[in-house]
A and B are shown apart, each in its own frame.
Chain A
Amino acid sequence: MASKKAAQKSLSLAPILDLNEASALHGKLMGLRGSGLVIDASAVERVGALCVQVLMAGAKSWEEDNQSFTFAKVSDAFTKTTQLIGVNIDHLMAKEI
């Protein structure tokens, strides 16, 4: 269950999430550990498998930390790429309350 006490942090993803961005994204996520995270992927134009790996690893870690890890907004390119490579992010999508 997600902790509701800690303030949520947010992260906006860069438009191009390629090989070069994987380490940077990894670094950013590492720095955000400890509280709930809302990710804005609405600007994403291109995303590679490595960055999806990093995001999924993040989701795994946040789950272990019992913190929420959600995608608030996603671009069409982001959704389609994850669908294409068989990575389901439906359970990570922010739900309207």
Chain B
Amino acid sequence: MDMNEIKEIFFQECEEQLAELESGLLRLNDGDRDPETVNAVFRAVHSIKGGAGAFGLDDLVSFAHVFETTLDCVRSNKLAPSQDVLKVMLKSADVLADLTNVARDGGSFDQARSTQLIRELEALAKGEAPPAAPAGEPAAPKAAAAKSAPVAAAAPAEPAANEHGFMPVAFSFDDFGGDDVEAVSELPAYEIAFKPKSDLYTKGNEATLLLRDLSRLGEMSIHCNMDSLPPLDQMEPETAYFSWKISLKTDKGEDAVRQVFEFAEWDCDLDVIAVDAGESVDDAESDQAMQPVPFDLSALDDEPDAPLGVIEEEEQAAAAQERDATVAAAQMASNVVQMAGNAARAGAGDKAAAAAAQNTAQQAAAAPTIRVDLDRVDRLINLVGELVINQAMLSQSVIENDSNGVSSINMGLEELQQLTREIQDSVMAIRAQPVKPVFQRMARTVREIADITGKSVRLVTEGENTEVDKTVIDKLAEPLTHMIRNAVDHGLETPEKRLAAGKSAEGTVKLTAKHRSGRIVIELSDDGAGINREKVRQKAIDNDLIAADANLSDEEIDNMIFHAGFSTADKVSDLSGRGVGMDVVKRSIQALGGRINISSKPGHGSVFTMSLPLTLAVLDGMVVTVAGQTLVVPLTAIVETLQPDAAAIHSFGATQRLISIRNSFCPLVDVGRILNFRATQANPVEGVALLVESEGGGQRALMVDAIQGQRQVVIKSLEANYTHVPGIAAATILGDGRVALILDVDAVVSASRGQSLHLEASLAAAG
């Protein structure tokens, strides 16, 4: 492994640490006062500093160092984590992320911002209020102090008070050099002498397990004393000969150390001595070769004191559970699996870990993981996709040649089909990731925009552990950023206006994610003024988007903001207002196979709802025939299927037809007609109706000629391979090798409301 690879790993770890840092700070911001949260935040910055030091990334080291010093004050309760303090810290986390990016990708960073934050952090560490003025003014005295520093250092004579009675104070730049890492990061240290008696072993205790539990408390060095070990022929195999001297640096306290030995204390000689923070434990033990214990003890994690099989069984059971599930369920199950795994580890008698068990976030982080190049996973997914198609083709040709369906080949094929399905689900689960990183990025966007606009904004996130395919996550960030900007810039009012409207000065932007019927639904809501419909309508008339006398519903007016070149902002700001926002957002979401809706309540705010597929690779669909063409209707959209009865069909207006289902009427939509597969509407009684529910909530009965069956299909993007076709979401390859189009149910439902699909030309070309 060369240096660059190691560096790359460092940067990957930095990303994790930065995420940890930010989520920790946000938890603190929400009032979490758990010391473990502060520790986690401190550790994140400390780890980044440590790694950066090893690679000589000086800018990063100096900033991390100052940040860490201030965090240390919070950790030691010298500085209360008030909202003001956390604001500075969150900004510092942003700068730390910028510095990390610059260190990795090159480029430049905002030196002034970093200097200003260093100043604010230092002020906090000294117990002063952070200097509020941005640049300039407050910098002067500090620069003067800095200048005087080398002088003071060079002349270590008694500092003399000047005529004003001020004493020069030595100001060492070494503080920024990272050389005194230990002084800052010094954790309480303990010297432990542990000598097991033979009884310890005969009673079923095991020194290695006690030492392992001990090592988990912090940084540990160990020396094994083998002096009393006799040669083989003189030894008693079940007698204890080894004894240990251990140095442990931990912030968990002496009680936690003693607790490790709780059940063995009568069977061993144990001494635990707290060592002064200033005194290095290693120095005290320098006469004995202390061996640092490696941090990664993952190989020992199969708790031997729990029956080995238990964990395996749980994992197998969990895996089986995963296999049975659909893609969506599999992804949810993977959370459960992880939690079950964690619970198994926590429950396996690890007393020291029991305290940490409260912190679920930390537990998730502790789950063993490996890093895999994304290309490899993608290649695997592609291959599995091909496998599924191939398997379908094989099945089809066997079925065609084996009409009675009882041959052993047929049974074997069924098993193959199940296996293929399992493989596919498992591969998809590899790509599934929580939306948390994207949500965290949004927190930063909100902070920055709030700063620029002078508004006070609180971002509330929910469901950030909802998992979705990595491709979806990657493409989600941009539209979300646009929308968040819009929400803060346009949605929320200024604090004055809010107060005047009887709201709190601080606006709230809420971002939630959840799984709903095989899709991920992301909602962005604000408690701002809501959409000014009159203004939107006027703007639409001005831009010739609608006629001046057009009769539009509230929903239709709200949706006008998704039109290209539409912006109601009176002035174009740096953030938004150029009118390139929402139509781009809508296109990005549509490109992902998703939909976006808006609902707004004047005076109470707006809610944007995006619904996206969990994966862009596979789909459970119902294969249907429409006018001689084979189409696939996503199963998630179908509520029920029914054979229309002539008596249930009612005409409505000139062309509309309704179907009566259990005493309610539902519009009947001929898919063949709406897609222009045929010129006139087909006779409903000869076809099958699929009752579908669109994301907008409306129900429609889609009429098709016949149902062929239900199967999982591999999605092939039409956009990537051909071009977007209205009314069609994507395509797939069927078992017989033919291409079938996948119906975009929502587009068809919208079209049935009178909005045309404009697809004659595209479909003619596609056909």
Q: Measuring CB to CB, which residues of chain A are less than 8 angstroms from any residue of chain B?
A: 18-19, 22-23, 25-26, 29-30, 33, 45-50, 52-54, 56-58, 60-61, 64, 76-77, 80-81, 83-88
Contacts and interface: CB of A to CB of B under 8 A. Distances in A.
Contacts of B238: 19, 22-23, 50
Interface of B: 196, 201-202, 204, 206-208, 211-212, 215, 222-224, 226, 229-233, 235, 237-238, 240-242, 244, 290-291, 293-294, 297, 299-300, 302, 304, 308
30 contacts: A19-B204, A19-B238, A26-B232, A26-B235, A30-B232, A33-B232, A47-B208, A49-B206, A49-B208, A49-B242, A50-B201, A52-B208, A53-B235, A57-B229, A57-B230, A60-B231, A60-B232, A76-B299, A77-B299, A77-B300, A80-B300, A83-B293, A84-B208, A84-B211, A84-B222, A84-B297, A85-B208, A85-B211, A85-B242, A88-B291
A25 B237 CA distance: 9
A81 B204 contact: no
Given A57-B229, A64-B231, A84 B212 contact: yes
Given A49-B196, A80-B297, A85-B207, A54 B232 contact: yes
Contacts of A33: 232
Contacts of A50: 201, 237-238, 240
Contacts of B208: 47-49, 52, 81, 84-85
Contacts of B201: 19, 48-50
A29 B308 CA distance: 27
A58 B308 CA distance: 29
Nearest to B290: A86
Contacts of A81: 208, 300
Contact of B244 (A23, A77, A85): A85
A9 to B, nearest CB: 15
A80 B294 contact: yes
Contacts of B233: 30, 61
A57 B204 contact: no
Nearest to A75: B299
Contacts of A60: 229, 231-232
B219 to A, nearest CB: 13
Nearest to B209: A48
Majority secondary structure of chain A interface residues (helix, strand, loop or mixed): helix
Contacts of A53: 229, 235, 237, 240-242
Contacts of B212: 84
Contacts of A26: 232, 235, 237
A29 to B, nearest CB: 6
Contacts of A80: 294, 297, 299-300
A81 B291 CA distance: 13
Query: Which residue of B240, B241, B294, B299 has the most chain A CB atoms within 10 A of its CB atom?
Result: B299
Contact of A86 (B206, B223, B241): B223
A63 B705 CA distance: 87
Contacts of A45: 302, 308
B232 A83 contact: no
A6 B231 CA distance: 21
B372 to A, nearest CB: 20
Contacts of A18: 206, 304
Contact of A58 (B204, B226, B232): B232
A64 B211 CA distance: 30
Contacts of A23: 237-238
